Amino acid sequence: MFGAGGWGTALSLVLRATGRHPVLFARRPEFAEELRRERVNRPYLPGVHIPENLQVDSGVPDFRGAELFVLAVPTQFVRPALAPLARSFPRDLPVVSVVKGIEVGTLKRVSEVVRDVLGRVPVCVLSGPSHAEEVGRRLPTTVVAASTNHALARKVQAAFMTDRFRVYSHTDVKGVELGGAVKNVIAIAAGICDGLGLGDNAKSALLSRGLVEISRLGQALGARRTTFYGISGLGDLVTTCYSPWGRNRGVGLSIGRGKKLSQILSEMKMVAEGVETTRSVLALARRCRVSLPIVEEVHHVLFDDKDPRHAVADLMKRGAKSEIEDFEAPAREPRRRRARPRVAARRR
């Protein structure tokens, strides 16, 4: 388990419950020593006991005998975290990404970043409505294991399945990754909605239209539409937008109550993936010529200091549309063909 945050710690406990022997790798040696000594991850997963037989280490992992390499670090740190491992990483060792975000600048999904750094290694994505705080306490959780190699998806499914952690297999890696990433942006909007006290009507509409935006972008990038109405799409969106554990919703909640983004981030111990992902998602939408009004307004609030009340007003005042036509419209606007000048045929 490469990454000793709350999610990495919780998934290590899941694997331990299956009878496997995971090794939890922390980036800092002093943090690894703290985990070994105290047997609890106080900064990221307080109140959850780490058993004595769960090994905690730091530095470069020893890959000998490893069945899976589980990647559990924040999106924007994936590339630098993997770089020192590139030379020694076995090309046949499957990487299981449990990271939800899109890299700023390259606009790549995490599975693409993994292959940029490590080469053509097998990759599977594990995603869904799964707060570490609940998984660590063995509350029932269901996720999706997605890989273009269905045999690998089934292998990951079998590795993580317990009586408290159910895993479905999937093949739409793009859809599962995009659902997990973009829902964090919508969760910020949901938090703003709660912070402003806009009520249940507004929040339900926000989630419904947010799912349309997620699906619209996903289809433009080649994902299957049905994926976004499953566990890794709608399921993850609902959990993130309503749970008190949601860090992205928490950012939005604080903004809705009047705090500035810089202050919020300075007070946070963990990373809210949706903040930087907002930049990436909007850039992807512009590249694909896809309209994402909610994402655009979240971007204005986060990075242009727009009053969230004005953002809500601008969303509500948009031109009238048909919901049926909106759902059935193409994912992106058709590219206009340039008219070619007619050339008169020469007579022989």
- Say whether 203 is catalytic: no
Q: Which of 100, 174, 183, 306 is catalytic?
A: 183
Q: Residues with Cβ < 8 Å from 215, sequence gap 6 or more?
A: 225, 228, 229, 233
3-state SS class at 29 = helix
What's CA 125's distance to the chain center, in Å? 10
Q: Tokens in use for 117?
A: 């750094």
3-state SS class at 333 = coil
For residues 190 and 165, give the distance between their C-alpha atoms in angstroms, rounded to a whole number. Answer: 27
Here the contacts of 28-37 (C-beta below 8 Å, separation 24 or greater) are 28/58, 29/58, 29/59, 31/4, 31/58, 32/4, 32/56, 32/57, 32/58, 35/4
Angle at 143 between CA 139 and CA 293, to 5 degrees: 110
Q: Residues with Cβ < 8 Å from 186, sequence gap 6 or more?
A: 206, 207, 210, 211, 213, 214, 237, 240, 241, 294, 295
- Let me know how long the chain is: 348
Which amino acids are annotated catalytic?
A: 183
